[in-house]
Amino acid sequence: MPPSVRPLVGLPADTHEAGGFLYHSIGDKYLRAVADVAHCVPVMLPALQQGMDLDHALDHLDGVVMTGASSNVHPPRYGEPPTPDHEPYDLHRDDLTLKLIERCVARGIPLLCICRGFQELNVAFGGSLETELQRGAGRLDHRAPKGQPVEVRYGPAHVVAITPGSWLENLLETREIEVNSIHRQGIRRLAPGLTVEATAPDGVVEAVTLPAAPGFVFGVQWHPEYRAWENPYSQKIFAAFGAAVSAYREQRLVAEPTRS
């Protein structure tokens, strides 16, 4: 597909403060996976509390990728008190992403949710999160090893069992794959409507879909965006997302020919 007609995919920005200023940013690995594997044009959605017309932005987008982040969803968003175990936070991102997920699903805009984005998907539809998984009885340590090179931190960490007969099994054509693991939190209470697509050996939910959604919705706890072009399973995930985005774009342009 020529670059000039590639679909536009929005990615929410993380925020951090430095030198008295607030900065908005997105990790390069997400942008490259969207551009090089899904074959779409990545567009930043800044985490602005005011002055951003989200619906107007979505009128021009063909898909959204909810990225991972070092921050965690603020616990009051899912009915729990904040504690040091839940930190750090990014309240600016929370204000954007939970609304963004709901509106994407309502519109049928293809949605791929990764790590923090996976957890945001669960929270947006009424689920809750468990913090410091490694402290739980029988739990694996899902955190990346500290002080190691990036290829070790994002290297294979454990297998996941894929639900028999699931969308993910049909896509990957296998019932078990090895994945990386770079998170402290996970799903505690699964949101109504979400379906489990894969689990870790300790029972932690690793992938979900939203079958009743009018469009593509897939959430994954691991990081398929890391060097996605080298991993055949990551390639399939981003290719499926890219195909859904392209189909949505075609439908949008037919329905709104003047907004191309």
Q: Tell me the catalytic residues.
A: 115, 223, 225
Q: Is the distance from CB of 172 to CB of 222 less than 8 angstroms?
A: no
Cβ atoms of 66 and 221 within 8 Å: the answer is: no
Q: Is 32 left (phi over 0), alpha (psi -120 to 50) or beta?
A: alpha
Polymer length of the chain? 260
Dist CA 195 CA 180 (whole Å): 21
Residues linked to residue 12 through DSSP beta bridges, in sequence order: 45
Q: What does residue 19 show for φ and ψ, rounded to 5 degrees?
A: 60, 30
Reading the block at residue 84, the tokens are 């040091």
- Which H, E and C letters describe 143-199, residue by residue? CCCCCCCHHHHCCCCEEEEECCCCHHHHHHCCCEEEECCCCCCEEEECCCCCEEEEE
- Bridge partners, residue 14, by sequence: 25
Q: Please state whether the peptide bond connecting residue 88 to the residue before it is cis, i.e. omega within 30 degrees of 0.
A: yes
